[in-house]
Every structure is written in C-alpha cells, then in structure tokens.
C-alpha cells in the first residue's frame, strides 16, 4: 500500500487521470495459448523504491524486490475464512499450546536442485534465535506467548517446544518464509545479507531485472508446477490510484492491490466483462475513545454515541458504498459467523443508526442538554470532544466528518483536529487523546486481534503502540483473553471468545464503524480464477501465492 503523504501530487494527478483518455501504449502482452497457459501477467512493483539499481531478494530485508513469488511459507491461512492450505508443511499438530509438530512436505526442490528438507525449516527458525533482528514471528521472545526452547528436525518433522503456552505464535510461524540452509548458513548475519541470486522453493525464478522491471519466469520443477499456468510474471512500476486505474483500463496492468477510490466507476464500468474488483473485509475501522478520561470512561456514554453513528453514510462517503457497516461484535461477518456465541447467532449485530435513541440514552445517563442544545457532563461541567484524525488519510477524514455530525446531532459538542499520522501515533502511545479512528484487524488469531484489543495487558507504552489504545480494563476480560490464547481448538476458542463478544456488545470499549478491505482489482481477459466475493478462497492481498495456483487462461 502506498503512503499518502504526496497528497497534493496525487490529488491533482487523479483529477488529470480521470479526464485523460487511456490512449497510451497499446497492449503488448501475449494472449492465452492453447494449453491453458497464460503467457504473461503484469503486476505493479512490490518494492516501492525510488532507487532501482539496488538488488536484494532477501525476504527479511525491509524492501525485497519481491517478497511473494520466491520464498515460500509453511502453511497459507486465508485470513478471511481462516481455512488453511498446506504449503511447505503438510500438517501442523499442537499438543496443548506448548508443543507444535510440523510435517514437512517431501519432494520439494530448491531452485538450484537441492532437495528441501525439515532441516531447512529447523535451520530457518534457529537462525532467528541467533539473530533476534530476524525473528519477525517472535518465536524466541515473549511477544504472543512463551518463547520457544528448541526447534529441531526429526526425520520429516519439525518439532517446536515452548516454555509455556505459545498458541498465538501460530500465524507468525506458519507464515515464515523458508530459507535454504546450504546458502544462508554461509552468509553470516542474515539481515545484513544482500541476496542477489535467490535460491528458493517458490513458483517463479528471476529472469531479469533492469532496475525498474523485474521479470519472473515459471519454474517447471516447482513442486506444484501443474497448478501454475503463468509463464512470465512482470513486476513493474509504482503507481498512485490514478495511474494504476489508467494502466488497468488499458490492460498494461493485470492486477493492482492498492487503493483506488470508487473502483466501480473508475475501473469496472469501462469494461464490465473483463474488469473486476474484490475488496474483501479484512478488519474494521473502529471509533476509539479514551476510556480513561470522561466522557468515554462511561460505558453508557460510549453506548449512546454508538447509536449516533451513520455507518451507511460513512460507507458511502469513505468507500463509495463498497465496504459495509461493521458488526459491533468485533468479528468480521459473515465470514466468522460460526464463531458467534449462541445468543448473537443469526441476529443483526450492527448497531443501528438511531439519533433519537442516542439522545434518549444520553438523557438517561445524566448528560443534560443545556439551553444552547449542547450537553454537559453529569457533574454539570461542559462537555466537548476533540477528535484527532490523521491528516491526508482521505477515507478517515470522510468518516470523521460523519462521526462529528452524529455527535453534534446527539448534542455532544465535537470538533475534528487533523494532525500528521506520526503525531497521532504519538497520542496513541501517551494516551493524550479523546477520540480517534483505528483499524481493528480481523485476523484468525482472535486472541491476538480482538483479544489484545481488549486486554489490559496490551495497553500502549511510551515506546510501543499495543492494540488496546482505548485503555479498556476489565480483569474478567483479561482472564478470558489468556484462556483464549491457550486454545488451539475451534470449539474451545468459541467458548472463551464469548465473553469478549459480550463485552463488545454491552460495554462498547470501541465502536465498530465499517469494514476495512484487503484489495484487488483485476482483469479477466488473460487469466481467470481470481478470488472474488462469490468465491473468497484467498485473501486477495495477503495470499497471492494461493490464488496464483488457481489462475488459468480463460476458455
């Protein structure tokens, strides 16, 4: 995703782009061949780098030329449906939350012909022990549960032993990219290693790179080569929304994963047969009050204002109606419906927009309306809310306007202060804010996402932004979160999730607004089988490897 600090340039370019005709270079990519193969697909560059000539494929560097198509993870878990697709590991088995056994796939070859084995897996994780800077999954430290004590290869299995419950590390472990022992054991500090000739297990290998355009070539000896139909993959160019829309419409790009506002009008309408988009709900935008300070320290107040939120209008203004109003449960629905506690199953858990009810609840909670139509705190002191919004984040600013209108309609005096995103991060750390907008990730590791959002052990510190930005504290919730973190089985997870959902629905630690997307815009003239709303088999943004195995040439 591109940052938006070049707002000015982007906005003007967008205005230009919309009115300009896409009459530039003609489509030069090949069409489909007879055997279902796809000659070439073009995606935007993955490294949003101004300087092109610096080659590095090390998947753990901050900016590899591609972090997707070369090195592969152990298991791909679709964060939308939480379904797992075995990748380099065929199976993962937990014994309690303290021991994890991975069955490693046999018959996989590194791109230099060396067989891939369980030893490579154990090597990769033990490298993280030696070089903590490399430990992005937090295997060897105490983020998300207890640290590991050993990771060993036993035949075709790899066994992780932890010093306590480590179930929440699962996502991090299975998504770690596997490295070849016969290369990376000789390079010293792997974070400082410039990997110019990647030896990887992935479906593609590097054909050429000229500093701007990375050409990847299909590997005939890939372990599931029968599923890869794309012969050549070109990664090229860093585009803003307007440029990307132009390139997509003209067929110079086959897919784009960044934000294009109003994708229907900008892209789909120009060729509804071939142009499609899928903005999958990946999490939600939530309204976060500071629960330590009045008025947001009062759960009744938080509940009341939740009814003043016009989510339909937010959806319309911020996402052109693409993203739907979000469930107050904090879960992505309907994809996580099966995790809902009984009492909420099948019910509408989106808080309705009802200003009259908001007013009524505020009256009942003692926030009296003065002669000027503005409410005061129950103790009679004036009530004013300062709402901090990230300057330049157009969607957040659009949502903020609707929030403030709702608050004002409920008699709560509120104003928006736009600040640099970095200084809002600062406010999250110090707690020096009243109200702001945030993203609540809807990943499958619920203890890590919804759980940490509500746990008083995960309140931000001076140096780190932990998820509980609203600073909500409830010992019963903390207990449920630590129970939830220890579960590796779905039914048990559901049991300990129930108190969290209940808290969201009755205490309103944060107010859910609208879902936030994982995006893809794609063309079906050269390839079909992309994930879509009808068939959400993969997270379009995060599970690229998975959908690559589904792409075929159109009939």
Partner 1 sequence: MTYVARKFGFFIATLWAVVTLNFLIPRLQPGDPAEIMVKRLAGKDAALDPAQVKAMRAMLGAPDGSLWNQYVTYLGELVHGNFGLSYTYYPYSVTEVIGQAFWWTVVLVVFTQVVSFVVGVVLGAYAAWRRNSRLDSVVTLGSTFLGTLQPFWIGLLLLYVFGYTVGWFPTSGGYEEATPGFNWPFIQEAVSHSFLPALALLIVTPIGWILGMRNTMIMNLGEDYIRLAKAKGLPDRHVALKYAARNALLPSVTGFALALGGVLGGAILVETVFDYPGLGRLMGEAVENKDYPLLQTLMLLTTAGVLVANLAADLLYGVLDPRARRAEG
- On whether the CB atoms of residues 220 and 109 are closer than 8 A, the answer is no
Alpha helix stretches (DSSP H) within 290-339: 299-306, 311-319
Q: Is 26 in the site for partner 1 (CB under 8 A)?
A: no
Pick one of 426, 431, 536, 554: the residue that binds partner 1 (CB under 8 A).
426
Closer of 64 and 295 to partner 1 (Cβ): 64
Report, in Å, the least distance between residue 439 CB and partner 1: 4
Residue with tokens 């110019």: 196
Q: Is 144 in the site for partner 1 (CB under 8 A)?
A: yes
Number of H helices, E strands in the chain: 15, 16
Cα atoms in the Cβ-side hemisphere of radius 13 Å centred on 378: 13
490-498's contacts with Cβ under 8 Å and 24+ in sequence apart are: 490/338, 490/339, 493/339, 493/446, 494/338, 494/339, 494/341, 497/339, 497/341, 497/446, 497/450, 498/341
Q: Which residues contact 276 (CB under 8 A, 6 or more apart)?
A: 268, 521, 522, 523, 524, 530, 532
| Other C-beta atoms lying within 10 Å of the C-beta of residue 348 | 10
Pick one of 226, 342, 379, 464: the residue that binds partner 1 (CB under 8 A).
464
Closer of 314 and 553 to partner 1 (Cβ): 314
Q: Is 194 in the site for partner 1 (CB under 8 A)?
A: yes
Q: Is 540 in the site for partner 1 (CB under 8 A)?
A: no
Binding mask 328-367 for partner 1 (x = CB under 8 A): ----------------------------------------
In 3D, which of 436, 438, 435, 427 has the Cα closest to residue 330?
A: 438
Closer of 292 and 425 to partner 1 (Cβ): 425
Binding mask 197-236 for partner 1 (x = CB under 8 A): -------------xxxx-----------------------
Q: Which stretch binds partner 1 (CB under 8 A): 89-97, 192-200, 261-269, 324-332?
A: 192-200
The residue count for binding partner 1 (CB under 8 A) is 70
Binding mask 497-516 for partner 1 (x = CB under 8 A): -------------------x
Pick one of 80, 88, 122, 137: the residue that binds partner 1 (CB under 8 A).
137
- Cα–Cα distance measured from residue 532 to residue 357, given in angstroms and rounded to the nearest whole number: 38
Report, in Å, the least distance between residue 515 CB and partner 1: 13
CA distances from 132 to 60, 138, 150 (A): 12, 9, 15
**Residues 384 to 413 in contact with partner 1, rule: CB under 8 A:** 390, 393, 396
Residue 516 sits at φ, ψ, to 5 deg, of -115, 140
Pick one of 237, 294, 341, 529: the residue that binds partner 1 (CB under 8 A).
237
First CA to last CA distance, the chain: 32
Closer of 24 and 224 to partner 1 (Cβ): 24
The two beta strands, 384-390 and 435-441, are parallel
CA distances from 100 to 132, 149, 383 (A): 21, 12, 53
- The DSSP string of 400-422 is HHHHHHHHHHTT-EEEEEEE-HH
The two beta strands, 255-256 and 232-236, are unpaired
Q: Is 485 in the site for partner 1 (CB under 8 A)?
A: no
Binding mask 279-298 for partner 1 (x = CB under 8 A): ----x---------------
| Other C-beta atoms lying within 10 Å of the C-beta of residue 345 | 11
Pick one of 30, 31, 63, 370: the residue that binds partner 1 (CB under 8 A).
63
Q: Is 29 in the site for partner 1 (CB under 8 A)?
A: no
Q: Which stretch binds partner 1 (CB under 8 A): 331-339, 378-386, 415-423, 493-501?
A: 415-423
Report, in Å, the least distance between residue 56 CB and partner 1: 7
Closer of 141 and 360 to partner 1 (Cβ): 141
Rg, C-alpha atoms of the chain: 25
In 3D, which of 202, 254, 244, 212 has the Cα closest to residue 38?
A: 254
Q: Is 147 in the site for partner 1 (CB under 8 A)?
A: no
Closer of 187 and 225 to partner 1 (Cβ): 187
Pick one of 44, 97, 138, 509: the residue that binds partner 1 (CB under 8 A).
138
Binding site for partner 1 (CB under 8 A): 1, 3-6, 9, 12-13, 16-17, 20-21, 23-24, 48-54, 56, 61-63, 67, 132-138, 141, 143-144, 172, 191-194, 210-213, 237-238, 243, 246, 283, 390, 393, 396, 420-423, 425-426, 438-441, 449, 463-467, 516
């Amino acid at each position: 995703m591109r940052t938006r600090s070049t707002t000015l340039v982007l906005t003007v370019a967008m205005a230009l782009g919309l009115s300009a005709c896409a009459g530039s270079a003609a489509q030069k990519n090949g069409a489909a061949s007879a055997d279902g193969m796809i000659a070439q697909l073009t995606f935007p560059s993955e490294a949003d780098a101004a300087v092109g000539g610096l080659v590095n494929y090390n998947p753990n560097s901050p900016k590899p030329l591609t972090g997707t198509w070369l090195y592969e993870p152990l298991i791909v878990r679709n964060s939308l449906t939480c379904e797992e697709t075995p990748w380099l590991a065929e199976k993962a088995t937990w014994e309690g939350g303290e021991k994890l056994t991975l069955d490693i796939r046999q018959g996989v070859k590194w791109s230099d012909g060396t067989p891939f084995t369980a030893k490579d897996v154990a090597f990769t994780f033990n490298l993280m022990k030696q070089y903590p800077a490399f430990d992005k999954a937090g295997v060897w430290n105490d983020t998300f549960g207890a640290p590991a004590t050993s990771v060993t290869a036993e035949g075709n299995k790899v066994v992780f032993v932890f010093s306590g419950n480590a179930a929440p590390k699962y996502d991090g472990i299975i998504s770690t990219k596997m490295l070849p022992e016969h290369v990376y054991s000789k390079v010293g500090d792997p974070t400082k290693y410039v990997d110019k000739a990647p030896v990887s297990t992935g479906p593609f290998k590097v054909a050429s790179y000229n500093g701007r355009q990375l050409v990847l070539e299909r590997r005939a000896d890939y372990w599931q080569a029968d599923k890869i139909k794309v012969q050549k993959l070109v990664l090229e160019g860093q585009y803003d929304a307007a440029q990307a829309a132009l390139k997509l419409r003209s067929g110079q790009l086959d897919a784009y994963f960044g934000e294009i506002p109003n994708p229907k009008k900008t892209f789909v309408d120009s060729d509804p047969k071939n142009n499609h988009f899928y903005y999958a709900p990946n999490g939600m935008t939530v309204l976060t009050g500071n629960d330590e300070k009045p008025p947001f320290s009062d759960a009744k107040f938080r509940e009341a204002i939740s009814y003043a939120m016009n989510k339909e209008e937010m959806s319309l203004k911020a996402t052109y109606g693409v993203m739907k109003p979000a469930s107050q449960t904090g879960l992505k629905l309907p994809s996580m419906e099966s995790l809902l506690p009984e009492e909420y199953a099948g019910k509408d858990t989106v808080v309705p927009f009802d200003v009259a009810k908001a007013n009524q609840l505020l009256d009942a909670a003692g926030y009296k309306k003065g002669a000027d139509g503005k409410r005061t705190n129950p103790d009679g002191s004036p009530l004013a809310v300062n709402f901090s919004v990230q300057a330049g984040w157009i969607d957040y600013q659009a949502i903020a306007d609707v929030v403030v209108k709702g608050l004002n309609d409920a008699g709560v005096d509120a104003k928006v202060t736009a600040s640099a995103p970095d200084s809002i991060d600062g406010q999250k750390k110090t707690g020096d804010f009243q109200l702001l907008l945030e993203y609540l990730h809807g990943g499958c590791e619920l203890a890590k996402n919804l759980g940490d959002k509500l746990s008083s052990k995960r309140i931000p510190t001076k140096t780190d932004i932990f998820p509980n930005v609203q600073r909500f504290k409830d010992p019963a919730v903390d207990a449920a979160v630590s129970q939830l973190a220890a579960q590796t089985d779905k039914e048990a997870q559901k049991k300990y999730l129930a108190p969290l959902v209940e808290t969201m629905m009755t205490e309103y630690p944060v107010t859910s607004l609208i879902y936030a997307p994982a995006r893809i815009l794609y063309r079906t003239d050269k390839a079909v089988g992309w994930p879509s709303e009808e068939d959400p088999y993969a997270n379009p943004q995060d599970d690229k490897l998975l959908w690559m195995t589904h792409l075929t040439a159109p009939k």
